[in-house]
């Protein structure tokens, strides 16, 4: 059948099982949108900003493991995807970005809305390609999907010039779409790859010899779908498991062997465990600087087994004693068979003692805090909600207090730390999981970076519940300025934000404000029954709250600050009674509370 490039594209997407495209039209993608007009089985979601489209595709992918797809026009459309593509790249999320490009005949001539998007995205895609002939389009799409989801996943980009999507050729998807992609220069490890026997033997031996082992599990375990294997290995060996920000959900966090997150804002007991360990089993984790702090002082006494699908991660930051390259699930399955069962030892008791000595705490003074809001989400949604976050203090509080019982329940921008990610990612996750509730935890800074997607949520009836932890400041930066820049608060006081309750109502959603624990609880209960539109809860918390524990950047467990440590430091430094708040904080707070009293009804 004679088909245009645009029609071929849709046939290929259909063949790849794509159900949703998050996109925004424009001149260079007019033929593609013309084909979408006739396409009823793939749902196109019209966003309000291309960045939203990329984060939605990302949230879709993170919550399912499937490849997320976003679509934008040439030039500014394509460059608006860049933040979302970089976000996906840093966290190894499978995504295919499709961009329009100016006609092949004017490429390189500074045509209207021309941008070299393959050049721009070279360092933030796993692979990208400009398709210059319609004859090459189907294979380019097949390769893009194959590369995005195989091996260590990541985003790919296909740039399609206007004439390529308009030109017609004879095409039969059954015959002409590659059933198998074969790229001689690309041979990623797969779920059925070879397990290196010698390395496995060494790993088994190290585990048998270890007195103080710890499992350190990252996003690779989620990507590989290895929750059962991580849990089984932990149970067979009684080795406690700490997870990275992206590894949350790799083991049920209520499991007695789960230690929660480690690192800069990780649990003190998890950090103590890693610091005192004599064996660290790194599983699909990459020794990120937010985990290690000062690498020279990280897990100094520990031998390291490093399991990762990407050979380039082995030795990138720390040299392991036993490197094992392969699919995490595949390797762990074999490791469980070979490893000797091990009873819980005094080491397990020691960690449990630390757990009791250094619990996560926040003020129990009856006031509303972010931590309480997160605990309420856990409780009121029966530990079943998908949690998406933005970036900042609220993200770290959520990482500490939100308890995942399964993988893909936790959606956060870890590597890139993208403010504005949360709301669109939550919307993407909701499209992928219509039967689940999706909560977006955001801040008054982050939410304003992609807030326009509330309109998308209203239009499509997406009942995402956004809890804005509102401290009227850019809290994480403010925390650093307070602690490390002598309280020289520079450009962190937001001074004014829109009335979020009225704003979400203007967008057609439901707005509520909570300034007390009771109001928050009520608001969440009310939000639960809203199933056809977005809900925003403006959750007002004190400005000066900080995230603890904290290991200052580039330092080690020795320098870890706990909540009470810093309060003592502050008390001694500021014995003169100097106040800690912004000059106008109280005034702002009063206003908010007044408005809140009526808004929460």
Helices (DSSP H) in 322-402: which residue ranges?
328-338, 346-357, 370-380, 393-401
Residue selected from 110, 123, 365, 486 as contacting another protein according to rule CB under 8 A: 123
Q: Does 34 sit near another protein (CB under 8 A)?
A: no
Residues of span 522-551 touching another protein by CB under 8 A: none
Beta strand 155-161 with 43-46: parallel, antiparallel or unpaired?
unpaired
265 φ/ψ angles, rounded to the nearest 5 degrees:
-115, 25
> Which C-beta is closer to another protein: that of 127 or that of 533?
127
Residue selected from 147, 214, 264, 368 as contacting another protein according to rule CB under 8 A: 147
What region does 150 belong to: left with phi over 0, alpha with psi -120 to 50, or beta? Answer: beta
274 φ/ψ angles, rounded to the nearest 5 degrees:
-65, -40
Beta strand 535-540 with 465-470: parallel, antiparallel or unpaired?
parallel
Q: Does 140 sit near another protein (CB under 8 A)?
A: no
Beta strand 2-4 with 168-170: parallel, antiparallel or unpaired?
antiparallel
Residue selected from 172, 194, 256, 319 as contacting another protein according to rule CB under 8 A: 319
Q: Does 248 sit near another protein (CB under 8 A)?
A: no
Q: Which stretch binds another protein (CB under 8 A): 95-103, 117-125, 169-177, 554-562?
A: 117-125
Q: Smallest gap, in angstroms, from Cβ of residue 127 to another protein?
A: 4
> Which C-beta is closer to another protein: that of 185 or that of 364?
185
Q: Smallest gap, in angstroms, from Cβ of residue 119 to another protein?
A: 7
Residue selected from 316, 502, 564, 587 as contacting another protein according to rule CB under 8 A: 316
Residues of span 433-492 touching another protein by CB under 8 A: none
Q: How far apart are CA 412 and CA 423, in angstroms?
A: 11
> Which C-beta is closer to another protein: that of 309 or that of 432?
309
Instruction: Write b or e for each residue in 416-450: b if 16 or more Cβ atoms lie within 10 A of its Cβ, otherwise e.
Output: bbbbbbbbbbbbbbbbbbeeebbbbbbbbbbbbbb
Q: Does 119 sit near another protein (CB under 8 A)?
A: yes
The DSSP H or E segment spanning 306 is strand 303-308
Q: Does 127 sit near another protein (CB under 8 A)?
A: yes
Task: Please enumerate in sequence order all residues whose Cβ is within 8 A of that of 523, keeping only pairs 6 or more positions apart, or say none.
Answer: 512, 513, 514, 537, 600
Closest of 374, 531, 373, 377 to residue 457, by C-alpha:
531
| DSSP reduced 3-state for 441 | strand
> Which C-beta is closer to another protein: that of 150 or that of 446?
150
Q: Does 126 sit near another protein (CB under 8 A)?
A: yes
Q: Does 310 sit near another protein (CB under 8 A)?
A: yes
> Which C-beta is closer to another protein: that of 183 or that of 530?
183
Q: Does 184 sit near another protein (CB under 8 A)?
A: yes
> Which C-beta is closer to another protein: that of 159 or that of 253?
159
Q: Smallest gap, in angstroms, from Cβ of residue 318 to another protein?
A: 11
- Number of residues engaging another protein in binding (CB under 8 A): 19
Q: Smallest gap, in angstroms, from Cβ of residue 190 to another protein?
A: 16
Q: Does 118 sit near another protein (CB under 8 A)?
A: yes
Q: Smallest gap, in angstroms, from Cβ of residue 234 to another protein?
A: 29
Q: Smallest gap, in angstroms, from Cβ of residue 300 to another protein?
A: 19
> Which C-beta is closer to another protein: that of 187 or that of 558?
187
Q: Does 122 sit near another protein (CB under 8 A)?
A: yes
> Which C-beta is closer to another protein: that of 316 or that of 337?
316
Q: Smallest gap, in angstroms, from Cβ of residue 145 to another protein?
A: 13
Structure token pair of residue 203: 């790993």
Q: Smallest gap, in angstroms, from Cβ of residue 341 to another protein?
A: 35
Residue selected from 311, 363, 461, 498 as contacting another protein according to rule CB under 8 A: 311
34 φ/ψ angles, rounded to the nearest 5 degrees:
-65, -40
Q: Smallest gap, in angstroms, from Cβ of residue 510 to another protein?
A: 45
Q: Which stretch binds another protein (CB under 8 A): 86-94, 193-201, 306-314, 342-350?
A: 306-314
Q: Which stretch binds another protein (CB under 8 A): 40-48, 183-191, 504-512, 564-572?
A: 183-191
Q: Smallest gap, in angstroms, from Cβ of residue 312 to another protein?
A: 4
The DSSP secondary structure of 249-277, one letter per residue, reads TSS-TTSTTEEEE-STTS-HHHHHHHHH-
Q: Smallest gap, in angstroms, from Cβ of residue 122 to another protein?
A: 5
For residues 97 and 72, the answer to whether their CB atoms sit within 8 Å is yes
> Which C-beta is closer to another protein: that of 76 or that of 108?
108
Largest Cα–Cα separation, the chain = 83
Q: Does 208 sit near another protein (CB under 8 A)?
A: no
Q: Running DSSP on this structure, what letter comes out for residue 177?
A: S
Which residues make beta-bridge pairs with 100?
A: 160
Task: Please enumerate in sequence order all residues whose Cβ is within 8 A of that of 530, keeping only pairs 6 or more positions apart, or say none.
Answer: 463, 465, 510
Q: How far apart are CA 252 and CA 384, in angstroms?
A: 12
Q: Smallest gap, in angstroms, from Cβ of residue 452 to another protein?
A: 31
Q: Smallest gap, in angstroms, from Cβ of residue 154 to another protein?
A: 10
For residues 414 and 263, the answer to whether their CB atoms sit within 8 Å is no
Q: Which stretch binds another protein (CB under 8 A): 119-127, 350-358, 436-444, 488-496?
A: 119-127
Beta strands in 55-166, from DSSP E residues, in sequence order = 68-72, 95-101, 127-130, 155-161
For residues 297 and 556, the answer to whether their CB atoms sit within 8 Å is yes
Residue selected from 312, 357, 593, 597 as contacting another protein according to rule CB under 8 A: 312
Q: What is the dihedral of CA 305, 310, 315, 316, to 10 degrees?
A: -140
SS3 sequence, 523-582? HHHHHHHCCCCCEEEEEECCCCCCCCCECCCCCCHHHCECHHHHHHHHHHHCCCCCCCCC
Q: Which residues bind another protein (CB under 8 A)?
A: 118-119, 122-123, 126-127, 130, 147, 183-186, 310-312, 314-316, 319
């Amino acid at each position: 059948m004679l088909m245009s490039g645009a029609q071929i594209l849709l046939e290929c997407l259909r063949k790849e099982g794509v159900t949703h495209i998050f996109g925004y039209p424009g001149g260079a993608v007019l033929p593609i949108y013309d084909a979408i007009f006739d396409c009823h089985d793939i749902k196109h979601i019209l966003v309000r900003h291309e960045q939203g489209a990329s984060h939605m595709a990302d949230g879709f992918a993170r919550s399912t493991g499937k490849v997320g797809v976003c679509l934008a026009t040439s030039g500014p459309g394509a460059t608006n995807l860049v933040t979302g593509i970089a976000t996906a790249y840093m966290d190894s999320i499978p995504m295919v970005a499709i961009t329009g490009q100016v006609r092949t005949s004017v490429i390189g001539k500074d045509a209207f809305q021309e941008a070299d998007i393959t050049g721009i995205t070279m360092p933030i895609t796993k692979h990208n390609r400009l398709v210059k002939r319609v004859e090459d389009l189907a294979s380019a799409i097949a390769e893009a999907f194959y590369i995005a989801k195989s091996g260590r996943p990541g985003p790919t980009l296909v740039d399609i010039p206007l004439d390529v999507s308009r030109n017609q050729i004879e095409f039969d998807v059954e015959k002409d779409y590659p059933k198998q992609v074969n790229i001689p220069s690309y041979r990623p490890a797969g779920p059925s790859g070879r397990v290196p026997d010698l390395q496995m033997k060494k790993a088994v031996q190290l585990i048998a010899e270890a007195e103080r082992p710890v499992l350190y599990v990252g996003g690779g375990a989620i990507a590989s779908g290895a929750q059962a294997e991580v849990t089984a290995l932990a149970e067979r060996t009684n080795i406690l498991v700490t997870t990275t920000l992206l590894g949350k959900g790799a083991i049920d966090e209520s499991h007695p062997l789960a230690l929660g997150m480690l690192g800069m804002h990780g649990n003190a007991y998890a950090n103590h465990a890693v610091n005192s360990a004599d064996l660290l089993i790194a599983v699909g984790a990459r020794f990120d600087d937010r985990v290690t702090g000062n690498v020279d002082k990280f897990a100094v006494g520990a031998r390291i087994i490093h399991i990762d699908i990407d050979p380039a991660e082995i030795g990138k930051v720390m040299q392991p004693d036993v490197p094992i390259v392969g699919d995490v699930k595949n390797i762990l399955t074999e490791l469980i068979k070979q490893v000797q069962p091990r009873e819980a030892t005094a080491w397990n008791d020691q960690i449990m003692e630390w757990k009791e000595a250094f619990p996560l705490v926040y003020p129990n003074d009856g006031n509303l805090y972010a931590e309480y809001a997160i605990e309420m989400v856990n409780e009121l949604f029966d530990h079943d909600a998908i949690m998406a976050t933005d970036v900042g203090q609220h993200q770290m509080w959520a990482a500490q207090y939100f308890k995942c019982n399964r993988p893909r329940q936790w959606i956060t921008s870890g590597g890139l730390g993208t403010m504005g990610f949360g709301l669109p990612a939550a919307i993407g996750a909701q499209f992928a999981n219509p039967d689940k509730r999706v909560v977006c935890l955001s801040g008054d800074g982050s939410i304003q970076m992609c807030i326009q997607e509330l309109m998308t949520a209203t239009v499509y009836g997406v009942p995402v519940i956004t809890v804005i932890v509102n401290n009227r400041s850019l809290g994480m930066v403010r925390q650093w300025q307070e602690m490390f820049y002598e309280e020289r608060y520079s450009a962190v006081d937001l001074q004014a934000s829109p009335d979020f309750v009225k704003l979400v109502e203007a967008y057609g959603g439901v707005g509520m404000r909570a300034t007390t624990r009771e109001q928050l609880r009520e608001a969440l209960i009310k939000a639960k029954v809203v199933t056809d539109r977005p809900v925003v809860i403006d959750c007002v918390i004190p400005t000066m709250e900080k995230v603890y524990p904290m290991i200052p950047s580039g330092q080690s467990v020795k320098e870890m600050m706990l909540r009470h440590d810093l309060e003592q430091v502050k008390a001694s430094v500021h014995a003169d009674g100097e106040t800690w708040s912004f000059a106008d904080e109280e005034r702002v707070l009063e206003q908010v509370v007044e408005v809140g009293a009526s808004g929460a009804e």
